[in-house]
Amino acid sequence: MLALVTTVKLIAEIALMALLGQWVLGLLAGAKRDKNIFYQLLQILGRPFVSVARLVSPRFVVERHLPLVAFLLLFFVWLAVTILKIQTCLKVGVELCK
């Protein structure tokens, strides 16, 4: 159980950092962000989570807001998994969680 929780937490953290990096790089690069290789890499990393956000969100959500929806969904998943990991570690003992 602890391995599953840790894996989901790690995937959420990687996706959150990719979406956050994509946003910051988009601000810095401006209109030329689509030609930036690092922006494209972060976009590829975040694309599966943005696609899931499209499936979950209602139709009136604009396409350009989907990365924000994906970020918020991932943040809530990360928060729930972190709480679950803390509860699991307290149950089995903190020494086993290291």
98: pLDDT strictly greater than 80: no
First-to-final CA distance of the chain:
14
SS3 (DSSP) at 53: helix
Residue 29 corresponds to which tokens in the numbers above? Answer: 């690069």
Helix 2-29 crosses helix 37-56 at what angle (to 10 degrees)?
A: 120
Q: How many domains, the chain?
A: 1
pLDDT at residue 68, rounded to an integer: 94
pTM: 0.88
Q: Residue 13: CB partners within 8 Å, gap ≥ 6?
A: 78
pLDDT at residue 96, rounded to an integer: 82
Q: Which residues constitute the domain of residue 44?
A: 2-97
22: pLDDT strictly greater than 90: yes
